[in-house]
Chain A
Amino acid sequence: MTDQAEAGGPVEDYLDRLLLSLSGPPSYVRHTLAEVEAHLHDAVADELAAGRTQADAEQVAVARIGAVHAVTGRTPLFSRPSAAVVRRTALAGSLIGGVALVAYAVSAAISWALSVVRGGEFVAAPFPPGSYTAADCARWLAGDPSTHDCVTAMTRDHIGDIVLQGVATGFLGLVALFAFWLMRQRWQDRGTLTALPVGSAEAVGAILALMVAAVAAGTAVDLETVQRGVGVGQPIAIALAALCAAAFFGLRLYRSVRTTRRIAPA
């Protein structure tokens, strides 16, 4: 029998949530917390004596005591999420955000490659005549001395913008993925890892990526029909990159579900 709850485990997490939910005189908060802590330790000790592991004993003890509002006697209108849920959400957000930003950078690289192969207008539709001034033209031409054609200089400028945005988002995406890696190393506790259903971040990421791919593909078809292919390269690039991101999330989802099934008790 152990008298200590597992650090970051269900009992500690429950007591954290209870502390955040209790209100009233400080003595009431202290006494209730101490009572419930003793209760949970007694329940864990009983479950350990019945042959459960520490982690399972804590899960059962927390399930038996019921929701936090059962102890406080008040149903909260708005309850603060537990620290474990906040940590797990930060992990999911940094993973999804990081992959999305890197995917955008990949789409920018594909756009650039398409512009080299199929020409600038395939990727960046030029502004309609009359919508830009001679000063705009002079600025685009100054940025690309190798051409004397305003439309070509304009589309090259647009592609340059796409590439620049791609580099910036790619950098931010790598920062987000590095943050994800750091947090993943730091938060290995069971409470954090089980705060959200297994594979939920990957499922959300895959669904979002597929939605982006569908919208971009639809836009590409529309541009192909209406503008005869002018500017169609960028949505095609976005759709391809989004499909890559969806495949990445799908693979992670498959692996996490398979791992969970393998370690789940029969």
Chain B
Amino acid sequence: MKSEKLKGNLDMLLLAVLAAGPGHGYSIITRLRDRSSGAFDLPEGTVYPALHRLETAGLLDSDWDVFAGRRRRLYRLTPAGEEHLAGEAREWRAFSGSVSLVLGN
């Protein structure tokens, strides 16, 4: 997948991953890669500016947790984030359906 296409939709994808449950940076990028069967394999560091931006926008919140002896910042979706994701997903499905219609089988 072209990285520009991926970056354009990264916020929505991160919100979708976190809709399944809270996670820290490494687990989020791992889940994103696994759920896309390896198609979304972007430089892992790019997830952090996006997570910080989503938190500043109030779509995520975070707190620090200790796991396996190491402090980790755990992100979770806020109600505003859930609402935003639902809207983005609706728009994406409509867009994707329209593109599929144009492309045909």
Task: Report which A residues bind B (CB closer than 8 A).
Answer: 3, 28, 31-32, 34-36, 38-39, 41-43, 64-68, 70-73
Contact = CB atoms under 8 A, between A and B. Distances in A.
User: Chain B interface secondary structure, helix, strand, loop or mixed?
Assistant: helix
Contact of B26 (A42, A68, A71): A42
A43 B63 CA distance: 21
Contacts of A43: 26, 44
Contacts of A32: 48, 52
A3 B70 contact: yes
A90 to B, nearest CB: 29
B72 A38 contact: yes
B25 A35 contact: yes
A34 B72 CA distance: 8
Interface residues of B, number: 18
B69 interface: yes
Residue with the highest number of chain B CB atoms closer than 10 Å, among A38, A39, A41, A65: A39
Contacts of B104: none
B71 interface: yes
A71 B45 contact: yes
B73 A65 contact: no
B43 interface: yes
A40 to B, nearest CB: 9
A38 B26 contact: yes
A71 B49 contact: yes
Contacts of B27: 42
A3 B72 CA distance: 14
Contacts of A70: 43, 45-46, 49
B24 interface: yes
A189 B25 CA distance: 29
Contacts of B42: 66
Contacts of B43: 64-67, 70
Interface string B59-78: 00000000001111100000
Residue with the highest number of chain A CB atoms closer than 10 Å, among B27, B69, B71: B71
Contacts of B48: 32, 35-36, 71, 73
Contacts of A66: 42-46
Given A34-B71, A70-B43, 17 more contacts: A3-B70, A34-B73, A35-B25, A36-B25, A36-B48, A38-B25, A38-B26, A38-B70, A39-B24, A39-B44, A43-B26, A64-B44, A66-B44, A66-B45, A70-B45, A71-B45, A73-B49
